[in-house]
Amino acid sequence: MYIVNSYSLAVILCIVTMICWGSWANTQKLAGKTWRQELYYWDYVIGVLLLSILMAFTFGSIGEHGRGFVEDIQQVSWGNILSAFTGGVIFNASNILLTAAIAIVGLSVAFPVGVGIGLVFGVVINYIGQPKGDPFTLFIGVLLIVTAIIIDGIAAGKMGGTKETGMNKKGLILSIAAGLLISFFYRFVAASMDMDNFESPAPQMATPYTAFFIFSLGMFVSNFLFNTLIMKKPFVGTPIGYREYFKGSFKIHLVGISGGLIWGLGSALSYMAAGKAGAAVSYALGQGATMVAALWGLLIWKEFKGAPKSVNVMLVFMILLFVLGLALIIISGGN
């Protein structure tokens, strides 16, 4: 399998992860003009599963080091399979809540609140699981990002009550719940892998490609429970059935699948980088997606259009704090 052999390359992959994780929701915004988010989400999950299969039989099956995907999945213990699968189930529950929050309050609010909370708790959980890097620098970087998230929330609150960016109570509650759940998923996936030796992984443990495939199966299988419930009792709008899904055009299905492919690529790269960067740093850099999503909301979707000068100043300050926080996280992993 292909193995990342340098910290600098691992950081680059984590930055690509950040861009992918912060950009996939644009496909939901595009589809949302004519397509319910519950229907979009089925295609999204299918896209993630397809990407995991593609990575398994390409990067996960080439090279002279490590175990190839087919060999690896045959020897992974049931305990490690359950761990990675559980990570997929937890992530799916959190992401369904996040997509609902995006539909209610927009990218600029849902992502900073939800993913931001997930960043804080997730870094702590993953650092305890694999203490790699300088903790002081790491957590100072996280503190700066938390401050940026708070500023973003205050700025959104000053916008006052538009449907897209107003601090809708339901949207905020969904964002917070999503953030608390999302902080746990990465540790379950990382626990199924031999994080200290991708080249000669311990018996019964998974390579990143196998772990990601099992994780994706967890997402796909759990979606039949979670998304079916949401379709019957949606957060917004009337109940909807499966018949509506099959009425969608090829183009609208492709938008959702593209969203899953984008997110899935970011996740695969994050797991590939985790061996060199460490789980906490890989997770923290990936969750810089909050800034990417906020920028999409600001610059492309105009979710802060017409904002007063004070709000614009706060948003600039938020971005600066995010950049500085991410820089410290990168530095911490090199120590």
pLDDT, tens digit, for every residue of 150-200? 787 777 667 654 444 444 678 888 888 998 998 899 889 999 998 888 888
Kind and range of the H or E run holding 147: helix 135-158
Within 8 A by CB and 6+ apart from 192, the residues are 76, 80, 81, 83, 84, 87, 205, 206, 211, 214
- What would the DSSP string read from start to end of 44-94? HHHHHHHHHHHHHHTGGG-SSSS--HHHHHHH--HHHHHHHHHHHHHHHHH
User: In angstroms, rounded to a whole number, what is the distance separating the alpha carbons of residues 239 and 251?
Assistant: 23
Do residues 285 and 17 lie in contact, with contact meaning Cβ atoms separated by under 8 Å?
A: yes
Percent of the chain at pLDDT above 70? 94
Share the mean pLDDT of the chain. Answer: 87
Flag the least confident range among 151-155, 243-247, 270-274. 151-155
Do residues 179 and 118 lie in contact, with contact meaning Cβ atoms separated by under 8 Å?
A: yes
Report the predicted TM-score, pTM, of the whole model to 2 decimal places.
0.85
Owner of token pair 């060199």 = 276
Residue 227 has pLDDT above 50, yes or no: yes
pLDDT, tens digit, for every residue of 213-224? 999 999 999 999
User: In angstroms, rounded to a whole number, what is the distance separating the alpha carbons of residues 254 and 37?
Assistant: 14
Q: How many CA atoms lie within 13 A of 195 on its CB side?
A: 25
User: In angstroms, rounded to a whole number, what is the distance separating the alpha carbons of residues 247 and 259?
Assistant: 20
Flag the least confident range among 161-170, 246-255, 262-271. 161-170
Instruction: Identify the residue with better confidence: 1 or 303.
Output: 1
Summarize the confidence of residues 325-334 as an average pLDDT: 82
Give helix 208-232 / helix 169-191 axis angle, nearest 10°. Answer: 150
Token reading at 273: 């980088």
Tell me the domain boundaries of the chain.
7-333
Indicate the pLDDT class of residue 127, thresholds 50, 70 and 90: confident
Within 8 A by CB and 6+ apart from 312, the residues are 304
Do residues 13 and 4 lie in contact, with contact meaning Cβ atoms separated by under 8 Å?
A: yes
Nearest CA to 27 out of 262, 202, 325, 277 is that of 262
Sequence-ordered strand ranges (E) for 193-276:
none
Token reading at 27: 């496909």
Summarize the confidence of residues 251-270 as an average pLDDT: 95
Summarize the confidence of residues 45-53 as an average pLDDT: 97
pLDDT, tens digit, for every residue of 298-329? 777 776 777 788 888 888 888 888 889 878 98
